[in-house]
Structure 1
Amino acid sequence: MYTKFGTVVFHSRVRKHLPQKTIAGRAGIDSSYLASIERGRRPPPRRQIVDRIVAALGMSDAEKANAITAAALDRLEPAIREAEGDIPGVAVLARLCSALPHLSQSKLAVLNDVINVLADQPLREESMG
């Protein structure tokens, strides 16, 4: 299972000994909003706010990539879970999403290449019809 966006933010903030109020002020958001994100009571914010939180925390490029991935997966996970019974293969997609944050850059590059090749292929139903 991947790490939730709020957990990534919380651990980064605590590791750097920074109070919520400081990070929230730097990011231009309310500290109660940041607290609710960290506790998982709110979904991850829009990408623009994610970027501001990441900048306020002074995250490294690797930490930033992890936080952005976590936020995106947090938004994607409920939709995947909801579609699990309706779409063949969605369970595989759910497992792939869980693995993404743990893949090395070289494995992500290979996966990206595979996705690009598959995206260029017509769907089986289209090619059969």
Structure 2
Amino acid sequence: MTHTILPSSSFSEMLHVLRRRSGLKQKDVAIAAGLDQSYFASFENGRRAPPSLEALHKILDAIEAGPEDRATLLHAAFWERSGHQLEQLLPQAQLESLREHLYQLVKKDQVGIELLSKLSSLPDEKLQLLVSVASWPSNALDIVSLFASLPPRELSLVTRVVAAAVRAEQSEEETM
């Protein structure tokens, strides 16, 4: 029986399908990933939020997930960790657009995966910057991918400039 995963499936559903597709038992994946079996099972059963990126990569290695499945599961993990925050910031149509843009970004290449990994650890105020991505044209994904490959010093500078611009915009809105 072929199991299909969809970008709209939950993280736990996708993980379950991928593990079953690999032919491994939960215990085997847990051992290969260096995790406790009950800890791994709690991700697959939806009792816990997705694991850390390090643990997730070990799980993906253990089940020998291909690039498309890796991208899909990483996207789902990000969305489950951060989606609730975005739901409070965006109307439904923009939320779906952002979700699709992020999925395409992760599917695009390793740089997209690295960027999404970095985004997963953003605090709420920086996560709000993602809201603007929903209205970007698709070629803007190339620009975003470039930011992920910047050395830390340059990325830090870009982050400070963007934060200053956001503060200025917020200040402008407050005075209106």
Q: TM-score range by the shorter chain?
A: 0.7 to 0.9
Letter in structure 2 aligned against 1:66: T
- Do residues 22 (structure 1) and 58 (structure 2) align? no
Q: CA RMSD in A?
A: 3.3
Report matched runs for 1:92-103 at 5 Å. 92-99=93-100, 100-101=102-103
TM-score normalised over the length of structure 1: 0.73
- Do residues 71 (structure 1) and 73 (structure 2) align? no
List structure 1 runs of 4+ shifted beyond 6 angstroms: none
Q: Is the 8 A contact 2:22 2:64 kept in 1?
A: no
Letter in structure 1 aligned against 2:141: N
**Alignment match, 1:11:** 17
| SS of equivalent residue, structure 2 residue 47 | coil
Structure 1, unpaired ranges of 5+ = none
Structure 1 97/2 Cα, relative in aligned 2: closer, same or farther at 3 Å? farther
Q: Is the 8 A contact 1:43 1:74 kept in 2?
A: yes
Identical aligned residues as a percent: 25
Pick one of 44, 48, 68 that aligns with 1:62: 68
Structure 2, unpaired ranges of 5+ = 1-6, 109-136, 148-161
Letter in structure 1 aligned against 2:83: E
| SS of equivalent residue, structure 1 residue 41 | coil
- Do residues 110 (structure 1) and 111 (structure 2) align? no
Q: Is the 8 A contact 1:8 1:67 kept in 2?
A: yes
Q: How many residues are paired up? A: 121
